[in-house]
Structure 1
Amino acid sequence: MARKIQLNISEPCHENWEAMTPDDKGRFCASCQKQVVDFSVMSDREIAQFFKKPSTGSVCGRFMSDQLDRPIEAPKKRIPWLKHFFSIFLPAMFFSMKATSQTKLGKVIKTTHRDTVKPEIPIIMGGISYEPCVKPPHTISIPIKGEVDIMRQFTGVVVDESGQPVPWASVETGKIGKGTVADKDGKFSFNQNAVDPNGTVYISSAGFERKAIPAKTFFSQSGPFKVILKANEWLPEVVVTVFRDYSCVRSVTGAVTMIKGDTLVAKTPDRSDTAKTAKDPVRIPEFKVYPNPVAAGASLTIETKNFENGTYQFTVVGMSGQVIRQSDIWIDQESAALRLPVPATASGTYLIILQHRKTGKKYSEKIVIL
């Protein structure tokens, strides 16, 4: 009984065959550093002969789909005397047929010619496992049809009206946690799963008008995309600190007396200088935020200096005006360093606003959340 084997590939390889380096048995895959044997050009006999070798071991190969999951018969050992038998028997048989054809005529039998063009069969690559087949399995082939989903990556750059890049611009894709931030050169990227094809992508930055772009624009065109932001024609609320100017005031006092002979003699006046006592210079409130940029869900430090004592409202606001986080904090007059949590929000540019609860004075700083 002939020995049979069956080949199968449990995990097909998705590397590009054309990108591999040709060699004597097929190609060499630089990704997994293995030789890939091209079995798609071999017959069943050649395949069986290949795996008959005891040193075969683990093999990566390229197959036609109809070469897998079916029994392949291994070649039988050749009978030594069979070669000599045919060398004697075949000439005698042909001689007998020739003699018969000279005496008998028969009808010509029309033979049916089959198409020998081999149809296109999918090619599969991967690690091979094989096992002997005692009995050919009864299998049913069911074709599977479907569309291949190719993931697209959208890239672009954000610039101002003069063509200069806008660093750290916020890119809102409409899906929570899927937004992104442009880098210091204004470049950004996101994949198609981050946006609804029927939605809108919003791009904004401090000092510029928020721009809305239909998401279908990204799907219908090839990138990279160039987004131009227009500068705001209005200014947000500005806190102005006034420096007081202290001047010295001098007063002169005395008397004028009328003397006979119409001579006017002025008495020497007593002079006294009075000046306002100079006060301490006005100290300007200032604060800084670090690290900046900062990762969502991490912690940031707010360092204040020369602030009034009191309770301040701490607010994180998006560039479109939405309030992300709001709480009350206490700040001392001298200097303070407060460690606060960063809200788990979409990547983008935000404003941190500190407002004194009693005086209403506001101070703001821009921050980028990654």
Structure 2
Amino acid sequence: MKNQFSLEINRPCSEKFNQFATTELGGLCNSCEKEVIDFSKMTSQEVISYFKNNNTKNTCGQFKKQQLTTYAPKPQLKRKYNFIKAFGFALLSFLTFNTANAQKGNPSPEKNTINIKNLQGNITVKGNVGDESGDLPGVNILLQGTNIGVETDFDGDFTFPKTLKKGDVLIFSFVGMESQKVTIQDTKSAANINLKVSMKIDSCMLLGKVAVKKVYSSKNK
């Protein structure tokens, strides 16, 4: 994907961020007399915006450990839906017309019956995982008692790869945060999961000069 970049801190600094004089975007380091940007309070989109719009050659910052990862701006969707919408509308009209005509003959109620029992045992679980700063990519989601799982994507979103049933338990885990267990009750049970920040959150902070590396991938022609 175009414009991907990764963030690293190769040599963490031993200075204490909470001892810096407060600035607009973070704090002033007395040792090097530079502003240290506090990225730990930014969302993923705010981090992307900062590194896209600023000269970041000599940027120093404070990050949560999980923020030192690969970032990819959201692609802009091209509007090529007019033909598809027109075709879909025509198809829907055709099906509606044929259904209406069919109902004038001998009705067959069994064909329109939904198997509720089947649906209750095949729940598709989707959701979003985040903390107080925003979405969390890379969160592990595992079905308890199995090896079946998935990770949240860049935006903290996930779709569990296996349909579930009422009573199944999903385990959400991430470095530096407390694991959460969610029991499936219905299709909304696992939506908007917010992992609780660990009490040891300070140990997950990294401070230092940021290395920004471009991530290249093959172009689709």
Same fold at TM > 0.5: no
Higher strand proportion: 1
TM range (shorter): 0.3 to 0.5
TM (norm. structure 1) is 0.27
Could you say which structure has the greater relative contact order, defined with CA pairs below 8 angstroms and 6 or more residues apart? 2
Higher helix proportion: 2
